[in-house]
């Protein structure tokens, strides 16, 4: 539930833009929630980069899992 969360973690691992993700990010920012973006290396996300509070670029899902604690600390 976004209303009860302090942070929203957005994971982008494909080039296709998602309208639903954009709506959720907009809602989170309207509620003054932090937005952390994790995106796979090589994927352009200019549409989210400018509003994310923190951006982490990962090479593989295993890499993301290992470093997730650093991302949200």
pLDDT (tens digit, 9 = 90+) per residue, 9-63? 999 988 877 888 889 999 999 999 999 999 999 988 877 888 999 888 999 988 8
The confidence score (pLDDT) of residue 20 equals 87
Buried b (16+ CB within 10 A) or exposed e, 32-45: ebebbbbbbeeeeb
Q: CB neighbours (10 Å) of residue 47?
A: 11
| Rounded distance between C-alpha atoms, residue 39 and residue 52, angstroms | 11
Give the pLDDT score at 72: 59
Q: Which of 69, 72, 11 is nearest to 40 (CA)?
A: 11
């Amino acid at each position: 539930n976004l209303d009860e969360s302090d942070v929203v973690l957005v994971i982008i691992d494909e080039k296709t833009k998602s309208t639903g993700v954009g709506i959720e990010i907009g809602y989170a920012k309207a509620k003054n929630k932090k937005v952390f973006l994790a995106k796979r290396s090589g994927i352009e996300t200019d549409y989210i980069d400018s509003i994310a509070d923190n951006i982490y670029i990962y090479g593989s899902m295993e890499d993301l899992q290992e470093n997730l604690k650093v991302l949200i600390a």
